[in-house]
Amino acid sequence: MSAKSTFSNSTSKSYAVALYELAKENSELNNAEDGMNGLKKLLNDNSDFKEMISNPTAKKEEKKKVIFEIADRYNFSQTLKKFLGFITIKNRLFFLDQIIDSFLNIISINKGELKAKLVSSKQLSKKELENIQSELSKDFKSPIKVDYKYDPNLIAGLIIQVGSVMVDTSIKSKLKQLEKNMIEA
């Protein structure tokens, strides 16, 4: 791991811990979590927003204005709004994705949740995701937070990973295994 990557990770974690402590102190943890989930979705879905926050030539005040418009539109808590303004002025907005991940990880740990990664070959509905999450929670006897990703390249099936336990029912992996067995034979 490079020194720059380590600096980025430790800086992001420090900011995430600071936000967690402030939101907890102000009884705004749920609102901050909702806001950070919304920002994560915005980063994943909106390339213009992602480009704006990572653009070093965009002025801090312009970035701050956009961030505050988003915060107002989506009713972010005051703590989250001030935090986002602070990291914008400190020119740390390019860490936002890592800060969000670190913050949501802190929230999950404090809720006693396990994290599961789910990749599917078809777009799953909210109901289907809830059913999978419920079944995993029963199986692992712990609350599970599912990080879902749609991958049309899987052909068919699911890949689920909770900690070191991985279940791969995708046709793609079965074809690769078949190919490997044929080469070895």
Q: What is the pLDDT along the chain (185 residues), one digit of tens a residue?
A: 444 455 567 888 999 999 999 999 999 999 999 999 999 999 888 888 889 888 888 888 888 898 899 889 989 999 999 999 999 998 888 889 999 999 998 998 888 777 888 888 888 888 988 888 888 888 877 778 788 888 888 777 778 887 777 777 766 666 677 777 778 76
**pTM reported for the whole predicted model:** 0.69
> What was the pLDDT predicted at 24?
93
CA nearest 35: which of 184, 134, 43? Answer: 43
> What was the pLDDT predicted at 82?
93
> What was the pLDDT predicted at 98?
92
> What was the pLDDT predicted at 1?
45
Please report which residue ranges of 46-95 form alpha helices under DSSP H.
47-54, 60-73, 78-89
- The yes/no answer on whether domain 113-184 falls in CATH 3.40.30 is yes
> What was the pLDDT predicted at 16?
92
> What was the pLDDT predicted at 2?
45
Quick check: 93 and 68 in contact, CB under 8 A?
A: no
* Phi-psi map region of 113: left, alpha, beta (phi>0 left; psi -120 to 50 alpha): beta
Fold of 3-109: Peroxidase; domain 1 (1.10.520)
Strand, helix or coil at 156?
coil
> What was the pLDDT predicted at 56?
83
End-to-end CA distance of the chain, in Å?
A: 38
DSSP code of 154? G
So where are the chain's domains? Answer: 3-109, 113-184
Q: What would the two tokens of residue 12 be? A: 């992001």
> What was the pLDDT predicted at 12?
87
Strands 144-150 and 114-120: parallel
Write the CB contacts of 101 (distance below 8 Å, at least 6 apart in sequence).
Answer: 12, 40
**Rounded to an integer, what distance in angstroms lies between the CA atom of residue 167 and that of residue 43?**
29
